[in-house]
Amino acid sequence: MPEDQPECHYSFWGPLSTILWGVFIVALFIIAGVITVVLYVAFTIGKISPGQAPAVLMPLKYDGLLLSFSTFSSAVVCVLATVAIVKLRRGSNLREYLGLTLPNRRQFFQWSSAIVAYIALSDGFSLLLGKPVVTEFMSKTYSSLQSPWILWVALLLAAPLSEEAFFRGFLIKGLSASAFRWYGAVIVSSAAWAMIHIQYDVYGIVEIFVLGLLLGAARVKTGSIILTMFLHFVCNLVATAEAAIHAHRLFA
C-alpha cells in the first residue's frame, strides 16, 4: 500500500488465497447469472426446442428486464460470498478489510472532480474518434423497457455495491500484499473488472479498464470503497441518463 496509508494490524487473505477465492466468487457470479437466465426464459418464454434456441435467445442480449434481474441476483451472491470469505479469515475486520469507511471532505471533492473529468474526457474522446457516446448495448437495452426504473435501480445501486466490494475491496486488499504491490493490484483488479463486461466492444472494455484504474487509485489513496461506490454510481447515473436521452430522441 502507499506510504500514506496506515499499517494494518488485522488479518487478511494473502495473494494466492485472494486469487483462488476470487475465482470462486466469479464462478458464483456467473452461475447466478446463468440460473437467472434459465428461470427468466422458463417463466417468460416457456419450453423451447433446440432449433428455436438461437432465434429465441439472441434477443435476450438486449433485454433490459433480464439484465436487471441478472444484476440483482449476481450482486446478492457476490456480496454475500465476499463478506463470508472475509469473515472466514480469522482475525479479519470486515470494515477495514473492505474499506467500509467514509472519506474526508477534501478526498470526496478531489475524487468527485476526478470522476467528472474522466466522464467529460471519455465522452469527448469518443466523439473525437467517431464512437457513439451511448453504446449499442445500452441503447437497445434501455429501449427494450416500457418502465425502465428497474434498470436504473440495478445499475445505480446493485452494480456499484457488489462490484466495488469485490474488485476494489476484496481483490485490491489481498493482492497489495504480493509482489504486485498496490499499483499492480489496481491494474489486475481493473483488468478483471473490465473482462466481465463482455457485452461491450473492445473500445468500451478499454474505457472500463481505465475507469477501474481511477477507482482503484481512489480506493488505495483514501482506503474507502464507500467513496468508490459513489463514484461508480455517478458514472452509471450519467451513462444511464445518456441512454434515456438517446432512447427518447429515437422515439420522439
Instruction: Convert the pLDDT of each residue in 17-56 to its tens digit.
Output: 999 999 999 999 999 999 999 899 888 877 666 666 666 6
Three cell numbers, residue 228:
468508490
- Across the range 3-23, mean pLDDT stands at 76
Is the pLDDT confidence value at 8 over 60?
Answer: no
Give 176-215 pLDDT, tens digit per residue: 987 778 889 999 999 999 999 988 999 999 999 999 999 9
Taking a C-beta distance cutoff of 8 angstroms, is the pair 179, 22 a contact? no
The structure's pTM equals 0.91
Percent of the chain past pLDDT 70, that is, above it, reads 90
Q: In this predicted structure, what is the pLDDT of residue 59?
A: 76
Q: Quote the CA–CA distance of 16 and 225 in Å, as a whole number.
A: 22
Q: Quote the CA–CA distance of 96 and 9 in Å, as a whole number.
A: 10
Q: Quote the CA–CA distance of 251 and 17 in Å, as a whole number.
A: 50
